[in-house]
Each structure stands twice: as structure tokens, then as C-alpha cells.
Amino acid sequence: MNPSLLELVAKKLTATPPDVQGVRRLVLASCHSAGVLQRALEESEFEPPTAASRQKGSDAPDVWLSSLVIKGFRGIGAPMKVDFEPTPGLTLVLGRNGSGKSSVAEGLETLLHGDCSRLKDKPAEWKKGWANVHWDGAVEIEAEFRLEGQSECAVATRRWESGDEIDSADLELRSLGSRGESAFPSRDLLDKYRPILSCGQLGRRLERRPADLYDELAGVLGLHELVDAQNALRTERVERKRRCEQLEDGRGALLETLSGSEDARVVTCREALLQQPWDLDAIGAVLEGRSDSTDELNRLRLGAELEIPSTQALDQARIELQTALVRQKAADASDAGEQRKLAKALREALALYEHMGEGPCSICESDGVWDEAWRSRAEARMRDADAAAAEAHKLAEEVRTLATTVGELSSFLGSEELALAQHLDVDPEHIQAIAAWLATQKQDGSPSRLAAELKDAAPSLLRAGAAVRAAAVKELNQREEGWRRVVDAVRQWLPRARAAVTADEAGAVERLVEAEDWLKTASSELRADRFAPIAQEALKLFQEMRENSNVSLREVSLAATGGRTRRRVQMRADVDGEGGTYPALSIMSQGELNVLALSLFLPRMMLAEAPCRFVVLDDPIQSMDPHKVDGLARVLGRIAERRQVIVFTHDPRLQEAIDRLGIAATYLQVTRLPSSAVEVRRTSSPVEKYLEEANRMLEPEVVRDVGDEKLRRIVPGICRLALEAALQRSARRRLHADGKPSEEADRILAKAKAAIALASLTLFARADRGSEVAAEFVERYGDCGRAYEDVNGGAHGNYDGALKQLVRNTRNLTRRLEEKS
Amino acid sequence: MTAASRLLRHARECLDLEVLGGELRLRACALLARQGLESAVAASLRELGVEGCKLAFRTQLACLRHLAPPTLRVRRVSYTWVALSHVTHYHGYEMPPTAEAMENWLTEAEVLVAMLQGAGHAAA
């Protein structure tokens, strides 16, 4: 974006920040490019720059016009060279219509732009004959430019061979030093800030379509870039919104797909999709099998993989247990415990016997006798008791082991399987069988009872187990089938949704809408801010040039509603300063319209960004009344303080005004000689010009070539011209000094054409004392005052005195007249 | 050669005097041509018995118109003199005439001076 415009946008963003967070960045980014905008949307840390590098297109230096050489172009035959002072200042190029003056201006225009506005858009007939008829060779236009801050200068040339079209020649650049062509403003830049204003059709340019005028004035301000920025925001918003809608549509379709299944995974997904914001993590967990919803599935899987013992295995285990129980029962006669106690008692009695020796029994105090025989018997009994206890112990172990086996085999159905059976709606008979079995197992767990109950329950338990397993398998298959149907859709949708959420697409759309709104609202103010320098300058220029017009320009603004569609330059003016303004175009005279057009187009050429420091106006005085010419002269003088102003004109009033107002200017006189030879000479103010001519005629080489006889009849006439020019100036000054308004002064001077009347006005502030003038000049100015009478007589061939003295007197008299006023 | 013819010859010579430069050449030519016309008119009046060189030139022309035979185209003299006068007076920054215009006026002045001299001889 144009740096000045971007600066204004950044300033406005600070002054009236958007309400929504992050919108500021988007507005700024949109001012740079679509790419920067995308970056700002994707990287929340990214801060778009608030200033752009000063882009003068390229960074070519400013250029000033040094000289122009034209040959064979339009009214110019033989090569013609004009030198300009490549610094700020005013140069007036004067010439009659047809003198070749416009050919000079058009030549420069054609050189810079490759075409010429006078011929542009004209029928083919106009474009023929642009080459000069008196010139046979190639047509060539060449200009030299001073490059600001560079020691080298640039030379630009266009060359046409006979028969070429006017727009067929390329611009060649030379002597640019190390920087090459980049040292010269690009064609694009030259065209944008066109330094040449051809004023012939100026007023008509206001009458074109409003949008064209708008484009011409606003083009250099880069205002279309505001519209571009809005478009970038809209494009991004539309694209993101489309993606959001696609995602939303996808969600709708997914919900449709997910309906009707009660699979916990599906349900989880469905609920996650109905949440706000969507619970994408829950859906991800389901896809990765990490979700709670898979617990039930795992139970079903266990049910489907239920291991059911065979009837034979169960029966065999039970029978073995029962057999072991029978044997245990039989062994129960010699109780293992009692045998162990007996063995212990006998072991201790034998130990006591070892200690006490033979004798009466120390334990029972009966008649029994402890002796070796008792000892043998006791030891035999102890061994038997030990053996019986070991046998009983072994049986008990066997029963326990078998009971464990039977228990394990019969425990394939537990509370989980019961819950599953109930959940899966298995036949109640089976549920009951399981429930009943589990109930019995909670009570006394004696092996005999286990064996007995199992014998009764085994068949129904085995059937129940098979039923549970079958039901689980069926349910599992159904669910897997349903999940398989939707899982692909979920898998496809999820990453897109995740990307959209990560990128915060919905939020971005909201922010983009906000950014668009902000920019749209700010646009009219930005446009006004940006146009302000031009508008202010235009109002100022009009004010300066309007002199005595009863129409005042009050407002110049750019209006664009609906983006680029309805754009126009709004110009309002008032009449006699009375209340109310009117459309300027409708109330202005042709002269005022020209002033308006100049006021509008001049500021554009003077923008800081304009690469050409020279401003060329071709014939700016069109239908202007004399007072406006004064205004124009002042304006040109003001512009010339900063720019190289070159004005081509056929109207002497501009020179007169510049001279009279004391505005510094250089004059170039264009004279057309036979065979399209065009001569451009530097001249000065009329008084100086004639005095220089008179002096020149007295130079030895001229005296030799012309001869005294002729000079005597020519020089006084030239001196009279100098005096008349001085008198006209002094008469006007005298009238102004006496408080006569311009208009009245004009009227009086128009009547007093003769030198005698002008002299009377100068000397007496009235035109009717001509008879006293000659004497008064001598009276007031002494010797030099005699020049008045001498030149008047001499112009008719009646001067006998010394020509040098006459010229000297004339010069002194003009000086004194200057002083006097 | 009469004074008038001499002035006109000088005027024509001036047109080719490159030393003067384009614009001054034309002005010098106009000054001389006008003086040539004035001289021829004064001579004609003298021949008609009127010593008029102290009179304003417009008055001299009025006399001539009154005294000369109607075949003398005094009005044409008047037109050409006014045109030449215009160049030799200052008119507020007016552009110099073109070379072609000056050439035409000079030619016309030459024709008119010849006519005046012829009329003078006829009157004599």
C-alpha cells in the first residue's frame, strides 16, 4: 500500500481501535497483501508492519529538466534546442499560435509518455502528419534531465524513422552512471504523475464521467488500495466461511449417519458433536479406543470369549471329589486328630520312661508296669497312630485339591456374566440358573455340598453359559457392524474439524467481518484524510485565482459509495458568499471552470511522491478574464518557489501580470521562421528587452552590417517601445497606488492606449493632460526626460542627435519611472 | 530614388539581416516600412501643394484622400500603415508578428509606395 495511506490507516487504528481483539492486525495485514493477511490469520504472534518503505515506484531520484532538443516533430523542422534552468523557478515560453510553442510542449510530452494528450483518443486522421513536412530525416526528441543529488545527468531520447507511427518509438536512456535505468523514474510513475498539463481541453476534463474524474484525481493517492484491502478481507472471509459451512454440513451428515445406533462409541461421538463447542477429544479417544464407552464393549468381548467347561470334565471332577469324600469318610473312623494326639502322648510317655526307668506307671498310678515290653508296645502304637494321622491328612488334602478344581471349573459364570446375561436379555431360565448357582456359592462352601449341588446344577449352568456367550457374540457382531459403517465418516471429518478448530476458523471469520466493517466505516474518512492535501491546495489555488469572481469554491471531496462502483469528485461552490452551496460545475462560467480544473490538477503534480520536479502547463489561460490572470501569475510564482514551472502561452497577459506583480521569471520567446525553423530566444521584461535590442543595434558589428542610415531610423523606434512599455507599467502602478481597483484600472488603461495618455496618467494620474507631458518630463527628470520627445520624433525618422545618448536617456528615464512608482 | 523607396529597400534588407535576430529584424523592417509609407504620403501631398509633414499622419491621410483622385487607394495605405504602426508601438506584451505577416505588409507597402509615386507623377 502507498506508504502515506498506510500511515493514515495505522493512525486511525490507534485513534479508533476496533472493538474485537485481533481485528487491528487483520486490517493492517490486509493493507499489505493477501499473503500478509493469511500470515496474520495463521500466526497469532505475527504483527504486520505499520509503515511501508517509501516507494517512489523505484527509488529513482527526482528529476529536473535541463534541456530539450526536437527535430522534425510537428511544427518543428530543423533541430531546435531549448535550455531550461533545472532548479525551482518560473519559465514562460511565449509564442504566437502556430509559432511552434505547442510543438515544444507536445514534444516533451511525447518523449516522456510515448503519446500526446492532444492526439490521444482522436480519430486516425489527427494522428497523421505529426512528423514535420519540412524535415526529411529521422524525427528525434531528446531531453536532458538533472538528477537530484547525482553528479550524472540522464538523457532520454525517442527516435522515429520516416513512416513510423507516433506511438512506436521506445524511450532510450543514456548517461545514467552506475545506477543504470533505475536512476530515472519508471514509465508507470511518469504516467501516474504526468508532469505536463495540456490546458486546451482542461475545462472539458471536468465534464467527463464522474468516475473518470475521480480516478484521475485519486489515482495517485492509491485509494483503490483501500478497496483492494477490503477485497482481500472479503476473499479470506468468504473462503473461511465456506470451509466452516462445509464442516458444519459435514457434521450434520455425520449426525445423520450416527443416528440409530446405540453403540456407546457412536453415542459418545453423537453427544460430542452436539456439544458446543464440539468435544473433538472425546471423538478422538473413541477412535483410538481410549474411551469409557469401550468398557462395555470389553465386557461384551469377554462374554463372547467365555470359556465353558465340557460336561465330561465337570462330571469327572465332581465324581473324583465325591470318591475322595467317601474315602475320607471311611478314614474318619480313626480320626486323624485323635491319632496325632495319641502319638504325641505316647511320645511323651516314652520319654518319661527313659527318664524314670522301669517301675509302676507314673501317669495312671494303676497297677500297670512300665517295662521293656510296655515300651515295645507303646512304640508300636505310636508308629501306628502317626501313620493313621498321616493317612487322614493326605485324604483331606486330596479332597481340598479336588474341591478347588471343581470350584474353578464351575465358576465360569460369575456376577459379571449374570449382569451381562441380564443386559443382553438372555432367557430368564438361564439368568435364574446363574443367579441361583451364585447364591448357593455364597453360602457354606463344603466340598461335599459343592459336589452335590453341582451334580444338580451343572446341566443348566452349562446351558446358561452357552446362552450368555452366544448372546454376547451376537451383540458384539451387531455393534461392530454398525461402528464399521460410521467410523470412516468420523475418521474423515475429525482431522478437518481439528484443523478448523486449531485455526479458529469461526473466530477468524468473525474477526474478518469486524475488520471489513471497520475498514468500510473508516474508508470515507481515510479517503478524506488522504485527499485533504489536494483538496486544501485546490481550494487555496481557486481562491488565489478567482479574483473578483463571485463564485467561491467551498468544498472538494471524494465520494465513493459501494466500493469502486459509485465514485465521484464532489465540488460545491457558493455565490457571493451567501448561504448555501451548489454543485460547482453547474454555476461556474467557462473561465471559472478552467480555474477550477487547474486548481484540481495542479496539486496532484506537486505531491511529494511525484518524481518530476518540473511542472509544464501548456496554455493555461483559457477564457480567463484579466483578473484571473493575475491570480494565476501569483499561483505560478508560489509553485515556482519549490518547482521548476514551465508555462507555454500565446497570451501576453500572463507575462504582463508576472512582470507587473514583480514575480521572478525567465522568458523564452518562440519565433517561427520560414521552413519550420523555430527559434527560441531568452528574453527579459518588455522594457529590458527593448533596451537590450536598442543597445545591441549600437554594437560595432551591427553598425557595420546595418549601416548608420538605417540605424538612425530604427533605434529611436525601439527606444520608444521601451518607453511605452515602461509607461504602461508605471501608469497601472500609479492607478493602483491611487486606490483604483484592478477592474477600473483596466478600463482606464484600455482607453489610454497612446503613449501620451499613459504618460499623462503616470505623471498626473489622469489621461487628459497630454499637452503638458513633454515639459513635465524635462521638469521632473532633467536630461533623461528629453528622451520622451526624442523617441517620439525619432520613431518617424526625425532624430539628429547621438543614438548612444538617446538609448542612455531612455534607459535612465525608464529607471526613474520605475523608481517613481 | 525617392526617400520612400530607399526606406522600403532598407526595410527589405533588414528582413535578411541575420545579425539582428528573428524578432528585431521584423520590428526594424516595420519601422522602416512605416517611415517609407509616411515619406511617400508626405511627398504626394507636397506634389499636391500641401506641406503637411508637421501634421499628424492620420490628418495627412485625410487630406490626401480629399485631394487625390479616387483611383488612389488611400484607404489601403491607411490599413497598411495601421498594421505597421501596431508593430512599432507597445501593446502590452503582444507577441511579435510572424515573418509571413511582415513579408505581406512589406510587399503591400512597396505596392502602395509605387502607387503613390505614380499618382504623384500623374498629378504633376
For A796, name the nearest residue in chain B, comparing CA atoms only: B35
pLDDT at site B123: 46
Task: Region of A179 please: left (phi>0), alpha (psi -120 to 50) or beta.
Answer: alpha
Please, are residues A383 and A429 in contact by the beta-carbon 8 Å criterion?
no
Q: Which amino acid, one-letter code, is at A690?
A: Y
- Report, as an integer, the average pLDDT of A748-776: 88
Distant-in-sequence, close-in-space partners of A422: CB < 8 Å, separation ≥ 6? A431
- Å from B122 to nearest chain A CA? 27
For A690, name the nearest residue in chain B, comparing CA atoms only: B24
Eight-state DSSP code of residue A550? S
Subunit contact B35:A713, Cβ cutoff 8 A:
yes
Instruction: Show residues of chain B in contact with A697, CB under 8 Å.
Output: 20, 24
Instruction: Show residues of chain B in contact with A753, CB under 8 Å.
Output: 91
Subunit contact B32:A710, Cβ cutoff 8 A:
yes
Same domain membership, residue A788 and residue A664:
no
Owner of C-alpha cell 497297677: A367
A720 pLDDT more than 90: yes
Long-range contacts of A281-285 (CB under 8 A, 24+ apart): A283/A490, A283/A494, A284/A494, A284/A498
Residue environment code for A81-109, b if the CB has 16+ CB neighbours within 10 A, otherwise e? ebebebeebbbbbbbbeebbbbbbbbbbb
Q: Which amino acid, one-letter code, is at A348?
A: E
d(CA A108, CA A115) in angstroms, rounded, equals 10
Same domain membership, residue A742 and residue A624:
no
A56 pLDDT more than 50: no
Pick B88's closest partner by Cβ from A94, A95, A795: A795
Mean pLDDT, rounded, of chain A: 84
Distant-in-sequence, close-in-space partners of B82: CB < 8 Å, separation ≥ 6? none
Q: Which DSSP string do the residues of A220-288 spell out, in sequence order?
A: GGTTHHHHHHHHHHHHHHHHHHHHHHHHHHHHHHHHHHHTT---HHHHHHHHHHHSSS--HHHHHHHHT
- Å from B1 to nearest chain A CA? 15
Cell of A801: 542627435
Q: Which DSSP string do the residues of A374-410 spell out, in sequence order?
A: HHHHHHHHHHHHHHHHHHHHHHHHHHHHHHHHHHHHH
Same domain membership, residue A626 and residue A720:
no
Handedness of CA A764, A768, A774, A779 (dihedral sign): negative
DSSP helix/strand/coil, A122:
coil
Distant-in-sequence, close-in-space partners of A221: CB < 8 Å, separation ≥ 6? A2, A5, A530, A531, A534
Angle between helices A626-639 and A652-660 in degrees, nearest 10: 70
Quick one: pLDDT band at residue A333, thresholds 50, 70, 90?
low
Task: Give yes or no for a cis peptide into B96 (omega within 30° of 0).
Answer: no
Same domain membership, residue A703 and residue A655:
no
Pick A95's closest partner by Cβ from B57, B90, B95: B95
Q: Which DSSP string do the residues of A598-651 spell out, in sequence order?
A: HHHHHHHHTSTT-SB-EEEEE---SS--HHHHHHHHHHHHHHTTTSEEEEEES-
Q: Which DSSP string do the residues of A485-537 spell out, in sequence order?
A: HHHHHHHHHHHHHHHHHHTTHHHHHHHHHHHHHHHHHHHHHHHHHHHHHHHHH
Same domain membership, residue A326 and residue A362:
yes
pLDDT tens digits for A351-373? 988 888 888 777 776 667 788 88
Residues in chain B, overall count: 124
Q: Which stretches in chain B have pLDDT values below 50?
A: 121, 123-124
DSSP helix/strand/coil, A196:
strand
pLDDT at site A57: 46
Pick B21's closest partner by Cβ from A652, A681, A714: A681
d(CA A89, CA A443) in angstroms, rounded, equals 122
Cell of A288: 483410538
pLDDT tens digits for A190-225? 887 888 887 766 766 777 777 777 777 777 777 778
User: How many C-beta atoms surround the C-beta of residue A787 within 10 A?
Assistant: 28
Quick one: pLDDT band at residue A60, thresholds 50, 70, 90?
low
Subunit contact A656:B93, Cβ cutoff 8 A:
yes
Please, are residues A595 and A542 in contact by the beta-carbon 8 Å criterion?
yes
Eight-state DSSP code of residue A73? B
Residue of A80, A655, A671 to mutate when probing chain B, most B C-beta within 10 A: A671
Eight-state DSSP code of residue A88? S
pLDDT at site B100: 84
pLDDT tens digits for A776-812? 999 999 999 999 999 988 888 778 889 999 999 999 9
User: How many C-beta atoms surround the C-beta of residue B124 within 10 A?
Assistant: 7
User: How many C-beta atoms surround the C-beta of residue A305 within 10 A?
Assistant: 11
Distant-in-sequence, close-in-space partners of A195: CB < 8 Å, separation ≥ 6? A112, A605, A610, A612, A614, A615, A616
Same domain membership, residue A757 and residue A657:
no
- Chains A, B: CB pairs < 8 Å: 102
Percent of chain A scoring above 70 in pLDDT: 93
Please, are residues A648 and A637 in contact by the beta-carbon 8 Å criterion?
no
Domain range holding A372?
Answer: 311-475
Quick one: pLDDT band at residue A42, thresholds 50, 70, 90?
confident
d(CA A284, CA A494) in angstroms, rounded, equals 8
Same domain membership, residue A749 and residue A652:
no
Same domain membership, residue A732 and residue A668:
no
Domains in chain A, number:
3
Q: Which DSSP string do the residues of B33-74 spell out, in sequence order?
A: HHHHHHHHHHHHHHHTT---TTS-HHHHHHHHHHHS-TTS-H
Which strands make up the sheet holding A172-174, listed edge to edge?
A80-83, A63-71, A139-147, A153-160, A172-174
Owner of C-alpha cell 484443523: A499
First to last CA, chain A: 55
Pick A673's closest partner by Cβ from B32, B92, B99: B99
The domain ranges of chain B are: 3-123
Cell of A650: 500565446
Task: Give the residue numbers in A contacting B (CB under 8 Å), as ranges.
Answer: 94-96, 98-99, 650, 652-653, 655-656, 659, 669, 671-674, 679, 681, 686, 690, 693, 696-697, 701-702, 705-706, 709-710, 713-714, 717-718, 720-721, 724-725, 728, 753, 755, 795-797
Quick one: pLDDT band at residue A821, thresholds 50, 70, 90?
very low
| Residue A315 CB-density burial (10 A; 0-12 exposed, 13-18 middle, 19+ buried) | middle
A176 pLDDT more than 70: no
A641 pLDDT more than 50: yes
Q: Is residue A774 situated within a structural domain? A: yes
Same domain membership, residue A697 and residue A672:
no
In CATH, what number is assigned to the domain containing residue A648? 3.40.50.300
Owner of C-alpha cell 529538466: A65
d(CA A709, CA A714) in angstroms, rounded, equals 9
DSSP helix/strand/coil, A558:
strand
> Has domain B3-123 been given CATH number 1.20.120?
yes
Query: What is the Cα Rg of chain A in Å?
Result: 59
pLDDT at site A605: 81
- Report, as an integer, the average pLDDT of A333-344: 76
DSSP helix/strand/coil, A186:
coil
Handedness of CA A317, A322, A325, A327 (dihedral sign): negative
A708 pLDDT more than 70: yes
User: How many C-beta atoms surround the C-beta of residue A583 within 10 A?
Assistant: 11
Find residue A94's DSSP bridge partners: A649, A669
d(CA B34, CA B4) in angstroms, rounded, equals 9
Find residue A677's DSSP bridge partners: A673
pLDDT at site A565: 60
Q: Is residue A66 situated within a structural domain? A: yes
pLDDT tens digits for A72-82? 998 888 899 99
The number of helix segments (H) and strand segments (E) in chain A equals 31, 16
Q: Is residue A471 situated within a structural domain? A: yes
- Report, as an integer, the average pLDDT of A19-43: 86
